[in-house]
C-alpha cells in the first residue's frame, strides 16, 4: 500500500491542507482497493488558522513515506521551521516523492529540492520564489510541475489539480476521474495560471513613465513601436527600456503585449464581441493572430477562455 504523509506545522494554509486530506486521507476503497495509507505528521498539536490538528506521528516519520505532501506556507516572508525543512529533505533523500501545494514550494526550496528543477507556486509569489532560489527555474504560468520525484503546484485550486495528478499516476486516469466526479471538480483543467494572473499597472508617482502608461492603454488598438513610446516619454529607446525594466520587470514590447492580451481578456469576459472585433480592439489585427498569441500566453484559446469567464 502506497504510504502518503502530510507534513503539518503552525503557519500552514488550511485550504491546501484540507484538499490533500480529502483526497489521500479519505476512505476511498470503494473506488480503489487498496487506497493510500495516510498519516498526518507534525512535531506536536498544530494550529492551522482556526483549526487545531493532532498529528498521528512526528515529522521524523516522513522518511518512511512513499509520498510527502507539503501544504501551503502562509507567511512567505518568514523562513519555514528548520525541523520541517530537515524532515522534508530527509524524506526525499530516502526516496520519497515530495509534492508541495501552493506556497509549500518555499519549504521545498529551503530544503534544496528545487535546485536545478522547474517549479511553480501561486503566481503572486513566483518572483519571490525565483529570487530566493535562483538555481530553480520558476514557471509562473503553469498549474503544476512534475519532475518525477519533486512536484509543485500553483495556488489554491491548483492544489486539487496536482493531487488528482498524483492519483492519476498511482491509480490510472479512470480512477482519478471517479475521484474528480465525487468531488464535483474537473479531472483536468486546460491552460495554466496565466489566465488568472492580474496585471496591475505600477502605482502612479513621480517616475518617467507616469504619463506614458495611461497614454499607451488608450491606444492599444493602434500600431506602437518602442520608438513611438520613447518619443512620447521624451526618452531614448535605451532609457525607456531601462525605466520599463525597473518599474515593470520587463521590456516595453513585452509589457505592451501583456496589456493587449489583458485587453482581449477583458473584452472576452465582458462583451459578446466576435474574436475578430476583439483582435482589432486589442491591437492584434486578426483573429488568427490573437488566437496564436492568446493560446501561447494564457494557455487556452479565446473561445475557451470566454466560456470559462463570461457570466
Other beta carbons within 10 angstroms of residue 175's beta carbon come to 16
> Which residues have C-beta within 8 Å of that of residue 203, sequence separation ≥ 6?
none
* CA dist 301 → 244, 270, 310 (Å): 29, 17, 14
Closest listed residue to residue 256, CA positions, set 227, 291, 283, 292:
283
Which residue shows C-alpha cell 503557519? Answer: 11
Phi, psi of 38 (to 5 degrees): -105, 140
Q: How far apart are CA 176 and CA 80, in angstroms?
A: 32
Do strands 3-7 and 67-70 pair parallel, antiparallel, or not at all (unpaired)?
A: parallel
Which of 41, 102, 163, 231 is flagged as catalytic? Answer: 102
Letter string b/e over residues 141-161, b meaning 16 or more CB atoms within 10 A of that residue's CB? bbbbbbeeebbbbbbbbbbbb
Active site (annotated) includes residue 102: yes
| DSSP single-letter state for residue 69 | E
3-state SS assignment for residue 188: coil
Q: Which residues does the annotation mark as catalytic?
A: 102
Amino acid at each position: 500500500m502506497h504510504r502518503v504523509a502530510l507534513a503539518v506545522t503552525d503557519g500552514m494554509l488550511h485550504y491546501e491542507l484540507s484538499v490533500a486530506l480529502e483526497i489521500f486521507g479519505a476512505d476511498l476503497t470503494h473506488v480503489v482497493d487498496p487506497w493510500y495509507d495516510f498519516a498526518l505528521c507534525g512535531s506536536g498539536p498544530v494550529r492551522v488558522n482556526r483549526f487545531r490538528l493532532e498529528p498521528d506521528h512526528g515529522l521524523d516519520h516522513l522518511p518512511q513515506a512513499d509520498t510527502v505532501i507539503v501544504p501551503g506556507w502562509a507567511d512567505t516572508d518568514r523562513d519555514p521551521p528548520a525541523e520541517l525543512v530537515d524532515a522534508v529533505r530527509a524524506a526525499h533523500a530516502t526516496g520519497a516523492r515530495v509534492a508541495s501545494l501552493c506556497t509549500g514550494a518555499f519549504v521545498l526550496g529551503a530544503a534544496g529540492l528545487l535546485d536545478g528543477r522547474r517549479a511553480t507556486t501561486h503566481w503572486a509569489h513566483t518572483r519571490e520564489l525565483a529570487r530566493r532560489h535562483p538555481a530553480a527555474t520558476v514557471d509562473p504560468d503553469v498549474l503544476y510541475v512534475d519532475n518525477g520525484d519533486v512536484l509543485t503546484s500553483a495556488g489554491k485550486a491548483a492544489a486539487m489539480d496536482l493531487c488528482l495528478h498524483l492519483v492519476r499516476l498511482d491509480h490510472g486516469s479512470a480512477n482519478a476521474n471517479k475521484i474528480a466526479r465525487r468531488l464535483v471538480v474537473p479531472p483536468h483543467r486546460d491552460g495554466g495560471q496565466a489566465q488568472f494572473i492580474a496585471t496591475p499597472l505600477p502605482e502612479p508617482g513621480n517616475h518617467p513613465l507616469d504619463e506614458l502608461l495611461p497614454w499607451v492603454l488608450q491606444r492599444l488598438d493602434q500600431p506602437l513601436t518602442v520608438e513611438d513610446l520613447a518619443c512620447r516619454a521624451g526618452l531614448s529607446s535605451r532609457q525607456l527600456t531601462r525605466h520599463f525594466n525597473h518599474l515593470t520587470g520587463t521590456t516595453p514590447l513585452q509589457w505592451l503585449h501583456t496589456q493587449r492580451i489583458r485587453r482581449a481578456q477583458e473584452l472576452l469576459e465582458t462583451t459578446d464581441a466576435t474574436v475578430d472585433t476583439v483582435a482589432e480592439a486589442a491591437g492584434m489585427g486578426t483573429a488568427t493572430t490573437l488566437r496564436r498569441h492568446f493560446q501561447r500566453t494564457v494557455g487556452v484559446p479565446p473561445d475557451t477562455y470566454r466560456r470559462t469567464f463570461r457570466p
